[in-house]
Amino acid sequence: MKIVIISRTLFPFNAPRSMRTTNLSIELSRQGHQVTVYAVLGSYDYKDFEKKYQVKVKNLGPTSFAKLNSDLNQAEPSLLNKIMTRILHKPLEFPDIELMFKTYSALKKEKDVDVLITVATPFPIHWGAALYKRNYLKMFPKKWVADCGDPYMGNEFNKHPFYFKYIEKWFCKKTDYISIPVQKAVKAYYPEFHEKIKIIPQGFDFTLDNDQPAPNNVKPTFLYAGGFDPKFRDPRPFLDYLAKKNIDFKFILYTGSKELIEPYKKQFQDKLEVKDYIPRDRLLQEMKKADFLVNIENISNVQTPSKLIDYAIAGRPILSISQNEIDYAVVDEFLNKNYGQQFEVKNIMQYHIRHVAQEFIKLT
């Protein structure tokens, strides 16, 4: 089949939606389909990527305002752009609204498409596909799957003006299916579209190594990878408890959200090691060296962090804690290398990209 995938970002950008797009396009091509991917590419050269994976990569850009792109050299927004974003972000979904028109233009270039997969966030990508379908129904792809990592109007932590509900309902009427990663997120979508929703988890290409030796760290060594937010993923209660422990340990954090961590660096000194994000394959190797991995539970009732899948693939025990009510007895057990109450990711093979790609194909 001829498959077109439209997303904001692609490899080498390191984010869940980028990985979703990259892994899915590679696997669909491996399974014999003709795959074209559109994204805001930046300056990265995709010739080797296209040759290796037999995936055709096309640029949604250049963009005038939505500066985030797939390469690792992100342009600094101009002062005008920052001012406009501050004023127009909520009322007009600026600057991501630009991607609505980029998606519309991209679809005008594609003919005889069997399957269209649009990847959000940002949701204006879905809106662009809906607008094209309204205007060019006869030329629209045979099936359209709107893939949503997080909800839009039903997002507990990112509220939108009331009038966007009409846009969400409009695009949901146009799409054939809405794919979401977890069952509990269904309630974040309008009831009249629940029959269109299909649960398709985040997909990864991995091999499980259940026989890998446990690390031989002299002191308890644990690792966290991901972002922080004072509202729904706050590390400070956990750090405050660690500060009271009169033991030696090493806590390694890979994060781009360092504001909440900075006040602790002087207090913890070499017990706390804060690092920038690294490519996923390297990060998995670092995870395997830790005694255990830390998950700060998302307080959302409709979202689940994809990091848990990587944690499970790494094969190390998972300490999953609530920022609101930490079970300090369990924390102490982990610090003493007792992992009897570790968090378990069930049915890990459902996240294998081969299974995930097949779930998309079943919809056609």
Backbone angles phi, psi at 180, to 5 degrees: -130, 155
Give yes or no for a contact between 146 and 177, defined as CB atoms under 8 angstroms apart: yes
**Any idea which residue has 């695009």 for tokens?**
171
Quick one: DSSP state of residue 76? P
Torsion of CA 32, 281, 15, 74, to 10 degrees: -110
pLDDT, tens only, 98-132: 999 999 999 999 999 999 999 999 999 999 999 99
Residue 205: per-residue pLDDT: 83
The domains located in the chain, with CATH, are 2-200 (3.40.50.2000), 221-348 (3.40.50.2000)
Judged against a pLDDT cut of 60, whether residue 311 lies above it is answered with yes
Query: Across all residues in the chain, what is the average pLDDT?
Result: 91
Give yes or no for a contact between 363 and 198, defined as CB atoms under 8 angstroms apart: yes
Residue 271 — pLDDT band, cuts 50, 70, 90? very high
Calpha distance 6→99 (Å, rounded): 10
Instruction: Write the CB contacts of 101 (distance below 8 Å, at least 6 apart in sequence).
Output: 128
**Any idea which residue has 């904001």 for tokens?**
8
pLDDT, tens only, 14-65: 888 999 999 999 999 999 999 999 999 989 999 999 999 999 999 998 888 8
User: What is the pTM for the complete model shown?
Assistant: 0.82
Residue 211 — pLDDT band, cuts 50, 70, 90? low
Quick one: DSSP state of residue 316? -
Residue 299: per-residue pLDDT: 63
Torsion of CA 79, 84, 90, 92, to 10 degrees: -140
Give residue 191's Cα distance to chain centre. Answer: 25
Judged against a pLDDT cut of 70, whether residue 345 lies above it is answered with yes
Of 71-85, 131-145, 188-202, 256-270, minimum mean pLDDT range? 71-85
Rounded average pLDDT over 312-316? 90
DSSP collapsed to 3 states, 200-256: CCCCECCCCCCCCCCCCCCCCEEEEECCCECCCECCHHHHHHHHHCCCCCEEEEECC
Q: What three-state secondary structure class fits 198?
A: strand
Calpha distance 84→349 (Å, rounded): 44
Judged against a pLDDT cut of 70, whether residue 302 lies above it is answered with no
Instruction: Write the CB contacts of 193 (distance below 8 Å, at least 6 apart in sequence).
Output: 169, 172, 173, 178
Judged against a pLDDT cut of 70, whether residue 81 lies above it is answered with yes
Calpha distance 150→119 (Å, rounded): 10
Judged against a pLDDT cut of 70, whether residue 208 lies above it is answered with no
